[in-house]
Chain A
Amino acid sequence: MNEIEKNLLAQVADLHEIPIGAYNIRRDGEAAGRNSTANIEITSKTDKPGIDIRIKPGTKNESVHIPVIITQSGYGETVYNDFFVGKDADVLIVAGCGIHNSGCDTSQHDGIHAFYLEEGARVRYVEKHYGEGDGTGGRIMNPTTLIYMQKNSYIELETVQIRGVDSTLRITHVEADEGCEVVITERLMTHGKQIADSEMEVDLNGADSRARITSRSVAQDESVQVFRPRVVGNAKCFGHVQCDTIIMGNAKVSSVPEIAANNVEAQLVHEAAIGRIAGDQLLKLMTLGLSKEEAEERIISGFLK
């Protein structure tokens, strides 16, 4: 691996060396390394690009890393990854995509990830998106995340897109059965002329299912962001959606949280706020010796942490 590739891996998966546990590294559409373990089996799909990840029931404290990196300008792909998480397994899954584009053609990664959680399974899923390179070619990432949860399963979905992605359409769909819990935290920063669009639907179908969605974003320069998180309560359930955006420069942001109840015992709440950095926040940090720019940076990095 060259330095550019190593840096991309560090950015999207915090990987500085070969990961411990199961992993699959995809580089410009080709396998650049794979490891299955006794409990986690990774196999290539035969009908389309992508992999199947099978996690045995009861697997605990294991992790799967499946980073994707693209360094060829003009390369585009659609990849299908399916995760089958066995009963009562408890695992960490780290995905992520890094694009280095130093050419003039658009590089694009569309990842379609489906998760099938069996009864009592617990997953923490971390996904980071990162783009870099001084070329004029665009860097596009369109992730689709589909999550199907059986009774009493739990998923924590953490998505981060901090830099360098020109255009993103993010689609997330969750179906939660009885006693399931879904926690989604989204962190997003756009700058320049970037566009980010996040469509999300969480269907709470089973009794005592719960969902918490928190989205925090910063829109700078001329960038555009659209959020449409939707929680549907089809049973006795609890859902909370919160979107918070700091808007700067000439950015445009639209935040449209939606809650829909089809059951009298559904308890759903949404909150959304868009605003600039408050003047007294900047002034407070300036009284501590920071310049206005440093103060802005600290406020943003804290907000997105």
Chain B
Amino acid sequence: MLSIRGLNYEVETEHGTLGILKNIDLDIETGRFVVITGPNGGGKTSLAKAIMGLVPATAESMTYNGTDIAGLDVTERAKLGISYGFQQPPRFKGMLVTDLLSIAAGRELTDGECCAFLTQVGLCTSDYQGREIDAGLSGGELKRIEIASLLARNASLMIFDEPEAGIDLWSFARLTETFRELHENSESTLIIISHQERIIRLSDEIILISGGEVTMSGPTEEIFPKIMNATVPGCAFLEDRK
């Protein structure tokens, strides 16, 4: 179980201090499939990064399976079973796809094992195993390799940041199936940041984040209809002129 109380994340800008996450409380039970959604710029990525320890957020308390993780660095949190798939994954000159998957798994993977992970994200193995994770990969390919790295890591908490972004229709169908299977067959907790109805519908719970705050949360069957009915406010300037 992941439990967070009073999480704040602020950054200093030229216009002063900017609050990105404001007093967030969150409880996510082990084995749940939770979707975090909300408008662009709402704070979803920031929240995921705060859980992984990638940004210097502060919290009254942050525990994972009873362990206080607030003071732990990224590596230590990773070793406790937290993983995060980047919204914009980095490229590595010279590193092969198989190298990255092996680092993720914590041991040298066989070709067959790499193949299994790549297939789950809709990549044909023989084409990608020996490829470098550099500028030669397309955005969608890079993104899917990033997702495969989380599958290879097989952590007890997997956070995927917009796994659907930039991915073609066919691979997206394969990917949703992968998430469904993952939820069904493993004990891992899944947090998926997503804007996609097909992914949201698979989830047990929805957390809506907007303006750095949790504005709604609860079981999917309850929250989903409300989200679908809400309209996003437009530009205040234009609204005023109506």
Q: Which residues of A contact B (CB under 8 A)?
A: 216, 244, 278, 280-281, 283-292, 298-299, 302-305
Partner of B90, one of A244, A278, A290: A278
Query: Which of chain B's residues has its CB closest to A278's CB?
Result: B90
Q: Are A303 and B78 in contact (CB under 8 A)?
A: no
Give the 3 A-B CB pairs with smallest separation, nearest first: A302-B95, A302-B94, A286-B74
Interface of B is mostly: mixed
- Chain B 78-103 per-residue mask, 1 if CB under 8 angstroms from chain A, else 0: 11000110101110111110010001
When A287-B52, A288-B149 are in contact, do A303 and B93 touch as well, CB less than 8 Å?
yes
Interface of A is mostly: helix
Contact size range, B: 20 to 34
Which one of A285, A290, A304 has the greatest number of beta carbons of chain B within 10 Å? A285
What CA separation (Å) do A20 and B239 show in the bound complex? 82
Q: Does B106 contact A (CB under 8 A)?
A: yes
Q: Does B126 contact A (CB under 8 A)?
A: no
Query: Which of chain B's residues has its CB closest to A301's CB?
Result: B94
Q: Are B89 and A284 in contact (CB under 8 A)?
A: yes
What CA separation (Å) do A289 and B107 show in the bound complex? 12
Q: Are B54 and A302 in contact (CB under 8 A)?
A: no
Partner of B74, one of A216, A287, A299: A287
Q: Are B78 and A289 in contact (CB under 8 A)?
A: yes
Which one of B54, B86, B92, B106 has the greatest number of beta carbons of chain A within 10 Å? B92
Q: Are A291 and B75 in contact (CB under 8 A)?
A: yes
B63-86 CB contacts (< 8 Å) to partner A = 73-75, 78-79, 83-84, 86
Q: Which residues of B contact A (CB under 8 A)?
A: 52, 54, 73-75, 78-79, 83-84, 86, 88-90, 92-96, 99, 103-104, 106, 149, 153
With a cutoff of 8 Å between Cβ atoms, the chain B residues found around residue A303 in the complex are: 92-95
Q: Are A283 and B99 in contact (CB under 8 A)?
A: no
Q: Are A288 and B103 in contact (CB under 8 A)?
A: yes
What CA separation (Å) do A228 and B94 show in the bound complex? 23
Apart from A288-B78, A288-B83: 13 A-B pairs, beta carbons within 8 A: A216-B93, A280-B88, A281-B92, A286-B73, A286-B74, A287-B54, A287-B74, A288-B149, A289-B106, A290-B103, A298-B103, A303-B93, A303-B95
Which one of A216, A280, A288, A290 has the greatest number of beta carbons of chain B within 10 Å? A288
10 contacts between A and B (CB under 8 A): A278-B90, A281-B90, A283-B74, A286-B74, A287-B52, A287-B78, A289-B79, A291-B75, A302-B94, A303-B93
Q: Are A287 and B83 in contact (CB under 8 A)?
A: yes
What CA separation (Å) do A12 and B188 show in the bound complex? 47
What CA separation (Å) do A303 and B74 show in the bound complex? 23
Q: Are B86 and A284 in contact (CB under 8 A)?
A: yes
With a cutoff of 8 Å between Cβ atoms, the chain B residues found around residue A290 in the complex are: 75, 103
With a cutoff of 8 Å between Cβ atoms, the chain B residues found around residue A280 in the complex are: 86, 88, 90
